[in-house]
């Protein structure tokens, strides 16, 4: 079952890609030196890899190459630590990269990112939450509730976060991500905090919710594990990212999920400070938020578009799988990435203290 997961995040680059890159580079250096001077022949875009990179390639990399002649090469995920090291050591060899939105917000707060140039594309068609000063959200995934169908049905499952955090009402083993972000949001909603007033998170309320679950709780630390816990029956109901369970459900695994009261978590694109090809990086970003390309992306992987015009380009079957399609997005809420960039350290500390307490 593990192999059926959409992919492990952060897969590494393979030989074929390296060879392609080398070939492209040598063409650039020998065959068409004048092009190499005018603009880069290739750009390297680190990303989460696996299924996400495949979707990126179809929707964004190939279309960009067609439009500009610049070939985009995928590369292994760069986490915040590596971006920080790269910028601080003046060794910026990446022009634009895909990174988790909370990590993007943390980098922005430290002043390690170039501001986004919104004159290059029309941001009025984007979701208001997507266009930030230093980063742009490029897809919408969700932290959601999933249950093992041998224990619960869509009717008997905990019908909201309050019931999820109340083992007395709905008996069963639970699982949550062992990290403060996302988990504390749903815990706060479980304690009764209104989803439209989720920030600042009422931490006392959130920890009280966690206290109630302590005896019936299993923690997960990776996306593959979160799905496996529910599918394998280690827990009866738990949190997962939607990309981790849709395929298992389709393939007949005993798992089902809901987008009710989902927490939107997003991928973003950032341009590291000191990037050499800023202009091309912005053009690439513009190509990414294009309505048609966003729709192509959402067809390849069940992460929703940030361009509101994309929904009309998608069929009903695809819309059903997307966290922020009109029918699924009614009760969901966006995570506040900048809140975590600011308050992260103290909340992490409190969360770690609760874990050992």
Partner 1 sequence: MSLAMPERRLEKLSPSAARHRPWSPERGHALLLLPPLLLLVAFFVIPLADVVLQSFAGPGHPLTQYERIFTQSSTLQVLLYTFQTAATVTLCTLVLSYPVAFVVSRAKGNLLHLSLALILIPFWTSTVIRTYAWIVILQRRGVLNEMMLDWGWIERPLKLMSNGVGMQIAMIHIMLPFMVIPLLNTMRGIDGNLLRAAAVLGANPLRQFLSVYLPLSLPGVSAGSILVFISSLGFYITPALLGGQKTMVAVLIEQQASRLLDWPMASALATVLLVVTCLLFLLYERAMRFAGGGKTVGEVS
352 binds partner 1 (CB under 8 A): yes
- What are the Cα distances from residue 92, in Å, to 10, 63, 116? 20, 25, 17
The least CB distance from residue 6 to partner 1, in Å, is 17
Tokens (6 digits) for 341: 């960039």
Q: Which is nearer to partner 1, 119 or 221 (CB)?
A: 221
Spatial separation of the C-alpha atoms in residues 172 and 175, rounded to whole Å: 10
Cβ proximity of 80 and 36 under 8 Å: no
Strand partners, 238: 146, 175
Q: Other C-beta atoms within 10 Å of 100: how many? A: 20
342 binds partner 1 (CB under 8 A): no
Site for partner 1, residues 55 to 84, rule: CB under 8 A: 79-81, 84
Name which position in 11, 42, 68, 218 contacts partner 1 (CB under 8 A): 218
Q: Hunting for tokens 């980098």 — which residue is that?
A: 107
The least CB distance from residue 325 to partner 1, in Å, is 30
Tokens (6 digits) for 346: 């103290």
Q: Which stretch binds partner 1 (CB under 8 A): 23-31, 196-204, 258-266, 341-349?
A: 341-349
The least CB distance from residue 154 to partner 1, in Å, is 21
Tokens (6 digits) for 147: 């249950």
Q: Is 148 strand, coil or helix? A: strand
48 binds partner 1 (CB under 8 A): no
2 binds partner 1 (CB under 8 A): yes
Using CB under 8 A as the criterion, what x/- string covers residues 107-146 for binding partner 1?
Answer: x--x------------------------------------
Burial class (CB in 10 A: 0-12, 13-18, 19+), 219: middle
Q: Is 32 strand, coil or helix? A: coil
Length of the chain as a residue count = 357
Q: Which is nearer to partner 1, 13 or 348 (CB)?
A: 348
The least CB distance from residue 78 to partner 1, in Å, is 11
The least CB distance from residue 357 to partner 1, in Å, is 8
Spatial separation of the C-alpha atoms in residues 182 and 170, rounded to whole Å: 22
Q: Which stretch binds partner 1 (CB under 8 A): 37-45, 57-65, 128-136, 217-225?
A: 217-225
Using CB under 8 A as the criterion, what x/- string covers residues 301-330 for binding partner 1?
Answer: ------------------------------
Task: Give the DSSP H or E segment for 248.
Answer: helix 246-250
Spatial separation of the C-alpha atoms in residues 290 and 60, rounded to whole Å: 9
Spatial separation of the C-alpha atoms in residues 121 and 141, rounded to whole Å: 23
Q: What are phi and psi of 189, to 5 degrees?
A: -65, -35
Cβ proximity of 296 and 315 under 8 Å: no
Cβ proximity of 195 and 201 under 8 Å: no
The least CB distance from residue 228 to partner 1, in Å, is 7
Q: Which is nearer to partner 1, 118 or 348 (CB)?
A: 348
11 binds partner 1 (CB under 8 A): no
Helix, strand, coil share of the chain (percent; to 5): 45, 20, 35
Name which position in 217, 291, 300, 319 contacts partner 1 (CB under 8 A): 217
Using CB under 8 A as the criterion, what x/- string covers residues 158-197 for binding partner 1?
Answer: ---------------x----xx------------------
Name which position in 13, 152, 199, 219 contacts partner 1 (CB under 8 A): 219
Q: Is 98 strand, coil or helix? A: strand
Name which position in 233, 247, 249, 309 contacts partner 1 (CB under 8 A): 233
The footprint of partner 1 on this chain (CB under 8 A) covers a number of residues equal to: 34
User: Applying CB under 8 A, which residues contact partner 1?
Assistant: 2, 79-81, 84, 103, 106-107, 110, 173, 178-179, 214, 217-219, 221-222, 225, 228-229, 232-235, 344-345, 348-349, 352-353, 355-357
């Amino acid at each position: 079952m593990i192999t059926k997961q959409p992919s492990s995040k952060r897969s590494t680059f393979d030989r074929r890609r390296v060879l392609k890159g080398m070939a492209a580079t040598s063409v650039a250096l020998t065959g068409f030196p004048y092009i190499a001077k005018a603009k880069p022949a290739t750009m390297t875009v680190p990303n989460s890899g696996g299924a996400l990179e495949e979707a990126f390639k179809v929707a964004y990399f190939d279309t960009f190459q067609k439009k500009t002649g610049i070939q985009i090469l995928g590369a292994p995920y760069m986490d915040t630590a590596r971006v920080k090291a790269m910028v601080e050591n003046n060794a910026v060899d990446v022009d634009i990269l895909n990174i988790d939105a909370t990590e993007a917000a943390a980098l922005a707060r430290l002043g390690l990112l170039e501001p986004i140039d919104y004159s290059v594309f029309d941001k009025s068609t984007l979701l208001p939450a997507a266009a930030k000063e230093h980063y742009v959200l490029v897809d919408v995934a969700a932290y959601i509730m999933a249950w093992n169908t041998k224990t619960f049905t869509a009717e008997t499952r905990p019908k909201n976060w309050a019931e999820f955090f109340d083992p007395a009402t709905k008996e069963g083993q639970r699982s949550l991500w062992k990290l403060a972000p996302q988990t504390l949001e749903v815990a706060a909603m479980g304690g009764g905090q209104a989803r439209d007033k989720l920030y600042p998170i009422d931490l006392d309320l959130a920890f009280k919710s966690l206290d109630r679950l302590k005896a019936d709780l299993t923690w997960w630390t990776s996306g593959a594990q979160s799905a496996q816990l529910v599918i394998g029956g280690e827990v009866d109901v738990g949190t997962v990212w939607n990309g981790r369970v849709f395929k298992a459900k389709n393939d007949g695994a005993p798992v089902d999920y809901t987008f009710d009261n989902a927490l939107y978590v997003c991928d973003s694109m950032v341009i590291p400070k000191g990037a050499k090809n800023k202009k091309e990086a912005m053009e690439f970003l513009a190509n990414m938020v294009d309505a048609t390309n966003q729709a192509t992306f959402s067809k390849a992987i069940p992460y929703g578009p940030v361009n509101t015009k994309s929904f009309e380009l998608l069929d009903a079957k695809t819309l059903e799988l997307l966290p922020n399609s009109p029918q699924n997005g009614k009760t969901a809420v966006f995570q506040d990435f900048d809140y975590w960039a600011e308050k992260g350290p103290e909340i992490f500390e409190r969360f770690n203290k609760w874990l050992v307490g």
